[in-house]
Chains A and B, each alone.
Chain A
Amino acid sequence: MPTLQFRLNGAVIAVDADPDQMLLDVLRTRLGITGAHFGCGAGECGACHVMVDGRAIASCDMPMWSVADKDVVTVEGLGTVEQPHPLQRAFIAEQAMQCGYCVSGILISAAALLKRNPSPTEGEVRAALDRNLCRCGSHNRMVRAVLRAASEMAAS
């Protein structure tokens, strides 16, 4: 199997992988990165979103060959308990979830949004999260959390 090199959460890694294997599968079953969740396997729900070169992408639908030399960030790469990303702090502050299964994908979509648009309007936040499904109905809390994180980032 060919060796594929890419950057994962800031570190360059090289894995032997079938080029047609999906990134999500490699993250979860080979690399122990379980933040990105399987939801549908068809790129329709956003539970598996990761950032690839700054854009939120469905990793369940992304073959390994297309990841070569790219910069991949999962929710594990956003922040830690000790050094949380402002979005992670804001999701806790707003209690922005019920079951939370969709949350890691939503954090990634939101982080990608704030990279390209640091002060989005509410409508822009909603549009950026439209490819992420939430079944519990925690949408408005999540939108508030993203806006809170944006203003916190602007202030710092």
Chain B
Amino acid sequence: MSFPAPKLPVSLVANPRLSSWVKFTGDGRVAISPGKVEIGQGIVTALAQIAADELDVDISKVEMMRASTAASPNEGVTSGSLSIQQSGRALRHVCAEVRQRFLLAASERLGVDEALLDVDDGTISGPGNVRTSYWELAGDVSLDHDATPGATAKLATRRAVAGHSVRRVDIPDKVFAQPRFIHDRALPGLLHGRVLRPDISGARLIALDETAARAIPGLVAIVRDDGFAGVVAESEAATEAALKVLRKGATWSAGEPLPDEDDLAGFLKSQPVETTVIDTRTAASPKQAVRTLRRQYIRPYIAHASIAPSCAMAQWDGDRVHVWTHSQGVYLLRADLAIVLKLPAENIVVEHMEGAGCYGHNAADDVALDAVLLAKAAGGRPVRVQWSRHDEMSHAPFGAAMAIEIEADLDADHEIVGWRHAIWSNGHAARPGRAAQPALLAATEIANSYPRMISTNPPAANGGGGDRNSVPLYDLPAWTITSHRLLTMPVRTSALRTLGGQGNVFAIESLLDEIAALRGEDPVAFRLRHLRDERARDVIRAAARRAQWKPQKQAGIGHGVGFARYKNTGAYCAAIAEIEGADDIRVKRLTLAVDVGEAINPDGVVNQIEGGAIQATSWVLKERVRFDRSRITSTSWTDYPILTFSEVPAVDVEIIQRPEIEPVGAGEAAHGPVTGAIANAVFDCLGVRVRDLPITRDRIIAAMELAS
């Protein structure tokens, strides 16, 4: 019998050099350089825990370096709940191997067998009180070696830091207002910039009268490159004033019409598409269907709606440029900048600084190119560009709208004998750095512009895009899953948390609930009967137990359940919603159980699940991007309301810890299950299925009219 050769974690295959991840510094600390970035998810702390554990140094000695193309390993993009999986595994491996190399060196220096040595907070000691440390040995131990497969990390039972709720390393700065956000950094000689963008969707700048703007005190430059125009000034106030008058002098082309916001399905199903059969399953002994339920579900366009408008800084030095950004992928952004600027990538340094939570591909990358283009006119001074709230809500990419149609064939007992799931949606990813053309907004505006990149979907092996979570985890006898990706894109879309996962889980969980109700079967029991995966069954049972499923029926109160395993390969999550249905739907309580394998920082996992559950509640009850036929109209918080403190439900989370199982991310696990649970609770409460998100009073009335 042969065993497969041990393999390196994926991030190490791409960046094998140990020294690119770990350095022991002169001040008695250890610098850890992950390629993933902090976006409010607490990843920096979780990675510090892994490093501290494997190296046996106190976590206070671990200094986490911000990602930069100048020094960091290239780990692509911080997205898809993959940072723990990719960066975490890589760091665990690297630190285990580094520790091993130091133990070997210590053994030689101290003349003690390696197996007798112990590491405590970086001090290596052995019998007879002999001792040295990582820092003493650092000069003798070169880490300029490639990682080798087979380095052995600690046993799960011996971990002292990973698996515990360590306090996040970034929180004190944020509570005491120490500048940590890119928005708060003032570089010496900093200038400010703003870019002029159209109100009309797809309009192009065709003429610009700059006269009035030139008279604004503090103006440094007006930058015009065909359809791209912006201002640089000494102060933010001056940029705003200049932009205001510049707007009055602008002439725009007619733009491109937008779809009817009240007929998203009609629009999505009438466009040219690329059709992919995602999966089929054929029953060994097909059963006769006696009826078919055909249901259509709609997920609207959803805004990332970060609390901070996107911001970047750039500074030129000859033909080299330094960029500060809160992009999720510094190398990917650099690749796109290189295309636009027609410069070798080596001339561009892209350095990460924290921004507010982004929840996917928002305008972070766009504003970086804006800053780079405006900084060309700044005579070597750095330029900071910050988008307006209006631009953030109208020009950044949105999460794609989806129309999902499921046909379920039922036998005489209402058991499912066939299942066809079809999705119509724009692609869910148009991130920079992955194609021969740039994905950045200003690249579509400058002379010799690039066309707007039509969103595509990641391959199924990476969890898919519009089709994410469309293949049921349930053990149904037969199915066909089809994805229709739009080849037109009047509304700009790219990655938003869960990609298509939220829409698909909403559809699947809603229809399963409907079929369970047809059968008169408890929806929890129905799901358990159709699941073989014990981890899936465990989260559903845990959530049900915790919510005391199913509570006594009360007038005006409804309960519903939802479940998914994110991407069908990631975290398992079950949610139970308790709602109150009067004039409006109010979600009172969400009870969730989650299994991420090894939870590196349990409180961090709970925080992510709570946050995901609350954000999903906001999407479900309130959110849709609004537009008329010519422009996005939801450009403020008044027009794009999100859940407020008084509307937020109680959220109760149980983690099923499995320290022996490789960890996966938690950031996107809750959205689908919570969406399904709320929709099903609405039915339990009001007896009506709302299949068109968001679930507002108008949608409930419409669904009631349709049902009667």
The docked-state distance in angstroms from the alpha carbon of A82 to that of B172 is 12
Residues of A within 8 A of B386 (CB): 38
Scoring B176, B608, B636 by chain A CB atoms within 10 A of each residue's CB, the highest score goes to B176
Asked if A143 is at the interface of the complex by the 8 Å CB criterion, the answer is yes
The docked-state distance in angstroms from the alpha carbon of A132 to that of B642 is 11
Map CB proximity to A onto B298-339 as digits: 1 under 8 Å, 0 otherwise. 000000011111000000000000000000000000000000
The docked-state distance in angstroms from the alpha carbon of A38 to that of B236 is 12
Q: Among B55-63, B74-82, B612-620, which stretch is in contact with chain A?
A: B612-620
We find that the number of chain A residues with CB closer than 8 angstroms to chain B is 54
The docked-state distance in angstroms from the alpha carbon of A93 to that of B177 is 17
Map CB proximity to B onto A97-129 as digits: 1 under 8 Å, 0 otherwise. 111111110010000000000000001011101
- Checking A39, A98, A101, A127 against B389 with a beta-carbon cut-off of 8 angstroms, the contacting residue is A39
Asked if A53 is at the interface of the complex by the 8 Å CB criterion, the answer is no
Map CB proximity to A onto B614-647 as digits: 1 under 8 Å, 0 otherwise. 1100100000000000000000111000111110
Residues of A within 8 A of B39 (CB): 99
- Checking B179, B181, B389, B614 against A137 with a beta-carbon cut-off of 8 angstroms, the contacting residue is B614
Asked if B184 is at the interface of the complex by the 8 Å CB criterion, the answer is yes
The reply to whether A91 and B171 contact each other, CB–CB distance below 8 Å, is: yes
The docked-state distance in angstroms from the alpha carbon of A32 to that of B650 is 38
**Whole-angstrom distance between the Cβ of B359 and the nearest chain A Cβ:** 7
The reply to whether B615 and A95 contact each other, CB–CB distance below 8 Å, is: no
**Whole-angstrom distance between the Cβ of A42 and the nearest chain B Cβ:** 6
Residues of B within 8 A of A97 (CB): 40, 171, 174
* Known contacts A136-B40, A140-B610, A143-B645: A99-B603 contact under CB 8 Å: no
Size band of the interface chain B makes with A: 35 or more
The docked-state distance in angstroms from the alpha carbon of A132 to that of B307 is 10
The docked-state distance in angstroms from the alpha carbon of A141 to that of B652 is 12
- Checking A35, A47, A126, A140 against B308 with a beta-carbon cut-off of 8 angstroms, the contacting residue is A47
Asked if A76 is at the interface of the complex by the 8 Å CB criterion, the answer is yes
Asked if B648 is at the interface of the complex by the 8 Å CB criterion, the answer is yes
Residues of B within 8 A of A81 (CB): 172, 176
Asked if A52 is at the interface of the complex by the 8 Å CB criterion, the answer is no
* Known contacts A47-B307, A135-B305: A95-B607 contact under CB 8 Å: yes
Asked if A51 is at the interface of the complex by the 8 Å CB criterion, the answer is no
The docked-state distance in angstroms from the alpha carbon of A92 to that of B614 is 21
**Whole-angstrom distance between the Cβ of B651 and the nearest chain A Cβ:** 6
Map CB proximity to A onto B28-42 as digits: 1 under 8 Å, 0 otherwise. 000000000001111
* Known contacts A75-B177, A76-B177: A101-B307 contact under CB 8 Å: yes
The docked-state distance in angstroms from the alpha carbon of A48 to that of B183 is 13
The reply to whether B613 and A101 contact each other, CB–CB distance below 8 Å, is: no
Scoring B235, B306, B389 by chain A CB atoms within 10 A of each residue's CB, the highest score goes to B389
The reply to whether A34 and B179 contact each other, CB–CB distance below 8 Å, is: yes
**Whole-angstrom distance between the Cβ of A33 and the nearest chain B Cβ:** 8
Asked if A69 is at the interface of the complex by the 8 Å CB criterion, the answer is no
Q: List CB contacts (< 8 Å) of B384-419 with chain A.
A: 386, 388-389
Asked if B531 is at the interface of the complex by the 8 Å CB criterion, the answer is no
Closest to A87 in B: B175
Q: List CB contacts (< 8 Å) of B589-619 with chain A.
A: 603, 607-608, 610-615, 618
The reply to whether A103 and B610 contact each other, CB–CB distance below 8 Å, is: no
- Checking A127, A133, A140 against B651 with a beta-carbon cut-off of 8 angstroms, the contacting residue is A140
The docked-state distance in angstroms from the alpha carbon of A18 to that of B180 is 29
The reply to whether B307 and A133 contact each other, CB–CB distance below 8 Å, is: yes
**Whole-angstrom distance between the Cβ of A136 and the nearest chain B Cβ:** 5
Map CB proximity to A onto B324-365 as digits: 1 under 8 Å, 0 otherwise. 000000000000000000000000000000111101000000
Closest to B356 in A: A101
Map CB proximity to A onto B141-183 as digits: 1 under 8 Å, 0 otherwise. 0000000000000000000000000011011101111011101
The docked-state distance in angstroms from the alpha carbon of A141 to that of B389 is 26
The docked-state distance in angstroms from the alpha carbon of A143 to that of B174 is 17
Closest to A145 in B: B175
* Known contacts A100-B40, A137-B615, A138-B607: A45-B637 contact under CB 8 Å: yes
- Checking B181, B305, B648, B651 against A101 with a beta-carbon cut-off of 8 angstroms, the contacting residue is B181
The reply to whether A84 and B176 contact each other, CB–CB distance below 8 Å, is: yes
Scoring B235, B306, B308, B614 by chain A CB atoms within 10 A of each residue's CB, the highest score goes to B308
The reply to whether A141 and B357 contact each other, CB–CB distance below 8 Å, is: no
* Known contacts A42-B389, A99-B40, A138-B607: A132-B359 contact under CB 8 Å: no
The reply to whether A38 and B183 contact each other, CB–CB distance below 8 Å, is: yes
Asked if B661 is at the interface of the complex by the 8 Å CB criterion, the answer is no
Asked if B130 is at the interface of the complex by the 8 Å CB criterion, the answer is no
Q: List CB contacts (< 8 Å) of A42-101 with chain B.
A: 42, 44-45, 47, 74-76, 79-81, 84, 88, 91-92, 95, 97-101
Scoring A74, A79, A133 by chain B CB atoms within 10 A of each residue's CB, the highest score goes to A133
Residues of A within 8 A of B10 (CB): none
**Whole-angstrom distance between the Cβ of A5 and the nearest chain B Cβ:** 21
Closest to A80 in B: B176
* Known contacts A39-B307, A97-B171, A126-B645: A135-B235 contact under CB 8 Å: no
The docked-state distance in angstroms from the alpha carbon of A144 to that of B289 is 53
Asked if B14 is at the interface of the complex by the 8 Å CB criterion, the answer is no
The reply to whether B645 and A138 contact each other, CB–CB distance below 8 Å, is: no
Residues of A within 8 A of B309 (CB): 38-39
Asked if B237 is at the interface of the complex by the 8 Å CB criterion, the answer is yes
The docked-state distance in angstroms from the alpha carbon of A120 to that of B650 is 18
Residues of B within 8 A of A141 (CB): 607, 610
Q: State the B residues within 8 Å of A (CB).
A: 39-42, 167-168, 170-172, 174-177, 179-181, 183-184, 186, 235-237, 305-309, 354-357, 359, 386, 388-389, 603, 607-608, 610-615, 618, 636-638, 642-646, 648, 650-651
> When A and B form their complex, which 6 residue pairs have the shortest distance between CB atoms, in order from nearest?
A99-B40, A137-B614, A35-B177, A137-B611, A100-B174, A101-B356
A-B contact list, 8 entries, CB within 8 Å:
A40-B637, A80-B176, A100-B40, A102-B356, A126-B648, A136-B615, A139-B648, A143-B645
